[in-house]
């Protein structure tokens, strides 16, 4: 649910940037169009002062230059400079109309994406509420067993830091892994990309960004980059590793059958054995 939320959020941010760019282009284009029209106005003024306004220039200043240009029979009444000026206006008007239409479509898409984002957020919050309700229903003994299990996982992570924390990868993967190591102990928060908290794909995208490599935001998108590795024996430190059939969880390979990841709500960034993730290993990706 978190990764679906992340995907909707990423799409919203992308659309907002695209719309902003188009709107800036439209604003600049309108300024250019105004300048072209001002130039035509100056030409008409000069003609008027010199003894009258040429009928062709009156058409030239028409609010519908497309219609005027289509009247080929009048083109021979214009100078080459006038024809060029009018065509520039015509091209600019068409360009602006196209950009405005594109912005309108993207604004519609943005509205539906925002609605989708709200639904995904409710889904995440609903699942968290269900989990909390289940947790609250546990007996004291069950809660203690759960706490002991969490403590063992934390100790395992700490031992991994002490005994194998010097694992090094090469190149960008090594740099990304080192960056992720610096975040051990930071809490898992859904939708978070650091540096104070992370979700699973937030950690991996942040870590690679520290290495100077931009990778997609969500686990599903991250699974479609680089070179896939299906055998765990071929994995190298810093490779992305994906779990579950729908690829909704990702971490960084830490060597020795361990990964460094942000597991889930209620946990922190830590090392963990790939065998205890709770879902099958699908493949790795070397960026």
Q: Which of 11, 249, 270, 286 is catalytic?
A: 249
Tokens 């130039």 belong to 39
Q: Would you say residue 196 has pLDDT above 90?
A: yes
Measured distance CA(201)–CA(148) in Å, rounded: 27
Comparing 196 with 79, the larger pLDDT belongs to: 196
Q: Would you say residue 72 has pLDDT above 50?
A: no
Is 249 tagged catalytic? yes
Residues 32-60: tens digit of each pLDDT: 888 877 776 666 566 556 555 555 555 55
Q: What is the pTM of this model?
A: 0.70
Q: Would you say residue 213 has pLDDT above 90?
A: yes
pLDDT-derived band at 233, boundaries 50, 70, 90: very high
Summarize the confidence of residues 66-86 as an average pLDDT. 59
Q: Which of 200, 235, 237, 260 is catalytic?
A: 200
pLDDT-derived band at 129, boundaries 50, 70, 90: very high
Measured distance CA(96)–CA(89) in Å, rounded: 10
Q: What is the pLDDT of residue 15?
A: 94
Is 261 tagged catalytic? yes
Measured distance CA(194)–CA(250) in Å, rounded: 16
Is 248 tagged catalytic? no
């Amino acid at each position: 649910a978190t990764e679906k939320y992340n995907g909707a959020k990423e799409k919203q941010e992308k659309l907002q940037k695209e719309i902003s760019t188009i709107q800036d282009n439209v604003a600049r284009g309108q300024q250019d169009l105004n300048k072209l029209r001002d130039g035509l106005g100056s030409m008409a003024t000069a003609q008027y002062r010199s003894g009258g306004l040429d009928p062709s220039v009156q058409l030239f200043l028409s609010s519908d230059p497309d219609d005027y240009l289509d009247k080929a029979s009048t083109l021979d009444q214009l100078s080459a400079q006038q024809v060029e000026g009018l065509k520039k206006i015509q091209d600019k008007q068409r360009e602006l109309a196209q950009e405005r239409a594109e912005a309108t479509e993207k604004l519609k898409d943005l509205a539906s994406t925002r609605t989708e984002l709200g639904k995904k957020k409710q889904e995440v919050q609903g699942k968290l509420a269900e989990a909390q309700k289940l947790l609250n229903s546990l007996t004291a003994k069950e809660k203690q067993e759960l706490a002991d299990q969490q403590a063992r996982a934390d100790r395992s992570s700490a031992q991994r830091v002490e005994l194998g924390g010097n694992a090094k990868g090469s190149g960008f993967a090594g740099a990304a892994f080192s960056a992720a190591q610096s975040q051990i102990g930071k809490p898992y928060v859904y939708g978070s990309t650091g540096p104070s908290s992370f979700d699973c794909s937030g950690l991996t995208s942040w870590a690679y960004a520290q290495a100077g490599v931009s990778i997609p935001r969500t686990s599903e998108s991250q699974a479609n980059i680089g070179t896939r590795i299906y055998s765990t024996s071929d994995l190298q430190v810093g490779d992305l590793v994906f779990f579950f059939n729908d690829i909704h969880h990702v971490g960084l390979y830490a060597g020795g059958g361990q990964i460094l990841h942000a597991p889930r709500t209620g946990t922190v960034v830590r090392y963990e054995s790939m065998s205890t993730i709770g879902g099958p290993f699908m493949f790795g990706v070397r960026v």
